[in-house]
Chain A
Amino acid sequence: MIKINLLPSYILERARIRRAIGWVVALLVIELLAFGFATLKIRSAVTAEKERLAYWTAEAQKVAAVQALTSQVVADTAPYERWVTWFTGLERHNDRLADYLQELATYIYKRVRISSLSVDNASKQVVLTGRTDSLESLARYYLNALRGPFTNVGLQTSISGWNLAGAPPLAPQPGPGGLPWDQFASLPVTLTCTMQAGIYPPSAPAAAKTVIGTGGPRPGTAPTGDDDDDDDDDDDDDE
């Protein structure tokens, strides 16, 4: 059966338009609902993140407080550190001088009899005066000193050239005293050496004052000391 629609086309079109408007409105409503849902989700996420931020910020502030306290304690410790460093430096200063003498002794040849030894920090001079028994001993002594903790080594002795007339001047002469050494120890020798570095006490953590002046700075004192930390534990030489 053939369907014949006797209504005019504009009426049919109007109906179609109304249906289309209905669809559009429905879509709009769905879209608005979606916007609402998205808005709620975003807001709740933002709120949750803000709460987390507040919590972790508080925790981070506690860490900052601990760090500030640590800095304060470190600052309070600094004066005591400086005093302890100074005190231990004073104790250690004499040890360093003792170490230096001990090392010095290892470079003194055993066939040299030392009669005086002086160590002067102000001029960094070490002077050893003594006697030895032969040129070989003298040479050994001198060469040892060249390997020692010195920068310059100067030797003074009294070696004479060979002379045909009279007794050979290089023959050892009996010396004074009754010790077995003295009959050989006839060759005087003085070594004047310069220390590689001075041994100075540490600078005080605060201004020090000489209450009764002795007319000048203390000998052997330098504001920033050279440190001589050479240690040598061989020490068997007696003077």
Chain B
Amino acid sequence: MRFTRIHVLVIGLIVIVALAVAFGMAYARPQLAALSETRDQVEEQRTVAYTMLPELRKLADAQANYELKEQQTYAYMSRMPEISTDRYQGMIDLWKEYASTSGPRMVHYVIRQPGVIAPTGFSLPPPPTTPLDPIPIITVPVGDFGIRAASLPAIIAFLRAIGKAPRMATVSNVSISGSSPSLSVSMPLTMYLVTRWGLPGPGEKPVVAAPAETQPGGGRPTPPRGDDDDDDDDDE
């Protein structure tokens, strides 16, 4: 068989097609696939990046909420006595609180409520005489608490006013007897004292969960400080 022009053309055509296919399969196709994948990633990242404004708004809202809650918390804490985190000083602070602060402030507040004739009793238990445990909240039952009031509306108004008393307090039971205008009301009261273990100073992270029973100084008891008198009479 003789080699002719047709053979050359056919062979040439085959070579050209083979080269094109090889180029496409070996180079163009993988590169284009990688390009497509890169474009998809760009779209994903761009979608995320476009959420910057809403995220900034969320951050601003979160920061505003943080400041608000912090202010509210410390506003409530202004109704709390200063009870030190030092176990011995804390115990002494409680002595003063029980013996001379809470009682008078609460009674002054009670007698200023409209419709209340007089309190019939208010007694705090003896304060602790052991070093204070590091607990955030001290619950104090107030014994014999009662009032004489002029009417049921006055009693209801007094119950609402208890929530704004100088110390946080709640009433669980109410017992009313007598007749207007001199009703006798007995209502066991529970006071709540939040220590600095629950809420340290502004700017520090508050401890929510009560820590385990440990001494703040780490083993060796700290002798009590001198007399810190921070009773100030800003009464309600």
Contact = CB atoms under 8 A, between A and B. Distances in A.
Interface stretch (B61-69, B101-109, B215-223): B61-69
A119 interface: yes
Contacts of A82: 208
Interface string B25-48: 001100110110011011001101
Interface in B111-165: 125-128, 133, 135-141, 143, 151-153, 155-157, 159-160, 162-164
Contacts of A19: 5
A80 B214 CA distance: 24
A66 B52 CA distance: 8
Interface stretch (A38-46, A133-141, A153-161, A186-194): A38-46
Contacts of B99: none
A73 B12 CA distance: 72
Classify chain A: how many residues form its interface, as a range. 35 or more
B58 A70 contact: yes
The DSSP consensus for interface residues of chain A is helix
Contacts of A122: 172-173
A33 interface: no
Nearest to B172: A220
Interface in A164-221: 199-201, 204-212, 214, 218-221
A101 to B, nearest CB: 5
Nearest to B61: A70
B172 A73 contact: no
B128 A212 contact: yes
B12 A87 contact: no
B52 A20 contact: no
Given A59-B45, A204-B137, A212-B140, A94 B163 contact: yes
Nearest to A221: B172
A231 interface: no
A66 B48 CA distance: 12
B59 A66 contact: yes
B73 A210 contact: no
A28 B8 contact: no
Classify chain B: how many residues form its interface, as a range. 35 or more
Contacts of B4: 13, 16-17
Contact of A101 (B55, B135, B155): B155
Contacts of A98: 156-157, 159-160
B49 A60 contact: yes
A49 interface: yes
Nearest to A198: B172
A234 to B, nearest CB: 12
A178 to B, nearest CB: 12
B208 to A, nearest CB: 4
Contacts of B175: 116-120
A84 interface: yes
B172 A218 contact: yes
Interface string B183-212: 100001010100000110000011111100
Contacts of B5: 13, 16-17, 19-20
Contacts of B138: 208-209, 211
A17 B11 CA distance: 12
A1 B94 CA distance: 138
Given A35-B19, A43-B31, A83-B208, 16 more contacts: A17-B4, A38-B23, A49-B35, A60-B45, A80-B72, A91-B163, A95-B159, A97-B172, A101-B174, A113-B179, A117-B177, A118-B175, A121-B172, A121-B173, A206-B137, A209-B133
Interface of B: 2-5, 8-9, 11-13, 15-16, 19-20, 23, 27-28, 31-32, 34-35, 38-39, 41-42, 45-46, 48-49, 51-52, 55-56, 58-59, 62-63, 65-66, 69-70, 72-73, 76, 94, 125-128, 133, 135-141, 143, 151-153, 155-157, 159-160, 162-164, 168-180, 183, 188, 190, 192, 198-199, 205-210
5 contacts: A46-B35, A49-B39, A53-B42, A66-B56, A95-B160
